[in-house]
Chains A and B, each alone.
Chain A
Amino acid sequence: MSLIRSKALSFEYIRRDEEGNVEGITRAVDNVSLDVQQGDFVAILGHNGSGKSTLAKHINAILHPTEGTVWVDGMDTSDENNLWQVRQTAGMVFQNPDNQIIGQVVEEDVGFGPENLGVPTPEIWQRVEESLKAVGMSEYRNHSPNKLSGGQKQRVSIAGVIAMHPKCIILDEPTAMLDPSGRKEVIRAARALNDVEKITVILITHYMEEVIYAGKVLVMDKGHIKMQGSPREIFSRVEELKELRLAVPQVTLLAHELKKRGLPIPDGILTTYELTEALMKIKRTEG
């Protein structure tokens, strides 16, 4: 069943001067039709200013389409009456963990969402416990968020969203400010939510390595969806991605370079494991 659907979605930012006169119009999202199924893991790539975040903000009704329609779980996001239901269905996590945490204690922060939804207290605690467990942060439930590492803070932010029992979670560059292990922790948590809890995940990122676990990759450029496919299909198109100011994971690039030098390596290598296997196969057939 389709959970998120958009039809001919366009969005325009209107720039105004000091007197309020229209200076110009930027079409940030241009005629995007999208269909995300319940349980999908979708990654969105695109250079700065390509419209990724603008698109994402439509999914939980922070922005409303200038033209076209967005449905979340069958609800039209432009209908005021659906607003809270839409936001409860699709939760969002942003780049900077420090801007998203408000509680003095981790469990309090995670409980903030369900509390606002009017969930009865015993159930709030139950949800807090489950959510912290889902992101591997249970042992920190009584800690102050200030003392956590970036990756831990970001996992608390994710727990805060899943405590509202959304069907979908949108992660907008959740790892941009994190160190290598923080990045790993957050991506692992996102994958677990998708695999175990069957939550639909939409991941926006500039780190190509984080995309390889997605079921589907969308590449945006100038507000359009320019490419879509599996990570393997997308990352086989090295040169096209470069033109869109993007890249491929280091291992994919290495495989691409080796292939150019004449080694018979298949396209779309995504992991060090795959490249090692491909290289060993060459050794075996030669030996």
Chain B
Amino acid sequence: MSIIFNHVSKSYDADTQLKTDALKDVSFKIDDGEFVGLIGHTGSGKSTLVQHMNGLLKPTSGEIYVDGKDIADKEYSLKDLRGKVGLVFQYPEHQLFETTVFEDVCYGPKNLGLEKKEVELRAYEALKQVGIEDDYFYQSPFDLSGGQKRRAAIAGVLAMKPEVLILDEPTAGLDPKGREEILELVSRLHRENNITVILVSHSMDDVADYADRILVMDHGKLVYDDTVHEVFKHVKELEEMGLAIPQVTYMMYDIAAKGVDVSTDITTIDEAVEEIMKVWSK
């Protein structure tokens, strides 16, 4: 399922003195099955951007096409759209509310108007996908650990069987292992179920490890839209925007600055190990 933004702009409080332009003439296309990282400083417009993708916000100007259809059309069903484009908000566990984990995960598919059996089947599958054991199904979601709550909340979105999964800083506040578990889960869904993933993150290391392509937002503008390697070549510009490059990339620049002939086009630990071993075993 492709998503196209065609000159999308969004202003908040447009008719007042407090007008803020959250999105300024943003255009891009995301194809079926891509894994896209979305980065930008706080307030750069990332969350505003993703909330347009499932119709939670409407553009002030410009069009958004999902699967070739303009989602602003009167006939277009936003309900269907929200089934297809799943959005996991920041701190999604704050939205857990049912009495049991299982009930909570059922909430989404139930609202899609599916039959009870189908709802429960989907909830079961989704909980299995995120790695929550049967023992926890009938416990209160509030008795789960931080990482489990986060995964239960993600299961609630997966149970809608989205074709596109958008995650807004899904690893914030989790311990390193918890971060890895969430990212591995997302990566597996992408590989095995061919779900298109849009990952909003403040961790350059995570984006470098998992995404194929990066969109960079700065003050409401889309400033870069390129492969991971190309985007992280803009060291100075990214730093000026309040961002950074992966720590290993900095490392390679430091080594190169010593006059060693190493590639700086490195964004992951594995690549760095390989490159350093190549140069150092000569």
B162 at the interface (CB under 8 A from A): no
A217 at the interface (CB under 8 A from B): no
Chain A positions within 8 Å of B242 at CB level = 149, 179-182
B172 at the interface (CB under 8 A from A): yes
Chain B positions within 8 Å of A276 at CB level = 251, 254-255, 258
A267 at the interface (CB under 8 A from B): no
Q: Mark B220-264, 1 if CB is under 8 A from A, else 0.
A: 000000000000000000010011101110110011001010000
Q: Assess the A254–B248 pair: CB atoms within 8 A.
A: yes
B131 at the interface (CB under 8 A from A): no
Q: Which of A80-88, A106-114, A115-123, A243-251 contacts B (4 or more CB under 8 A)?
A: A243-251
The size of the chain B interface, using a CB distance under 8 A, is 39
Q: Mark A124-154, 1 if CB is under 8 A from B, else 0.
A: 0000000000000000000000000111000
Chain A positions within 8 Å of B202 at CB level = 178-180, 183
Instruction: Give A242-287 interface residues, CB cut-off 8 Å to B.
Output: 242, 245-247, 249-251, 253-254, 257-258, 261, 263, 272-273, 275-276, 279-280, 282-283
Residue from A245, A253, A282 with most neighbouring chain B CB atoms (10 Å): A245
Chain A positions within 8 Å of B272 at CB level = 254
Q: Assess the B177–A47 pair: CB atoms within 8 A.
A: yes
Q: Assess the B276–A48 pair: CB atoms within 8 A.
A: no
Residue from A206, A249, A261, A273 with most neighbouring chain B CB atoms (10 Å): A206
Q: Assess the B276–A258 pair: CB atoms within 8 A.
A: yes
B176 at the interface (CB under 8 A from A): yes
Q: Assess the B41–A181 pair: CB atoms within 8 A.
A: yes
Given the contacts A173-B173, A245-B177, A275 and B251 also touching, CB distance less than 8 Å: yes
Chain A positions within 8 Å of B250 at CB level = 272
Inter-chain CA distance A246–B180, complex, in Å, is 10
With A47-B175, A245-B176, A257-B269 given, can you name 8 additional A-B contacts, CB distance below 8 Å? Answer: A47-B177, A49-B145, A206-B174, A250-B246, A258-B273, A272-B247, A272-B254, A276-B255
- Please list the residues of chain B having a beta carbon within 8 angstroms of any beta carbon in chain A: 40-43, 143, 145-147, 169, 172-179, 202, 204-205, 239, 242-244, 246-248, 250-251, 254-255, 258, 260, 269, 272-273, 276-277, 280
In the assembled complex, 10 residue pairs joining A and B whose CB atoms fall closer than 8 Å, in A order, are A47-B177, A48-B173, A48-B175, A181-B239, A183-B202, A206-B173, A247-B177, A257-B269, A257-B273, A263-B277
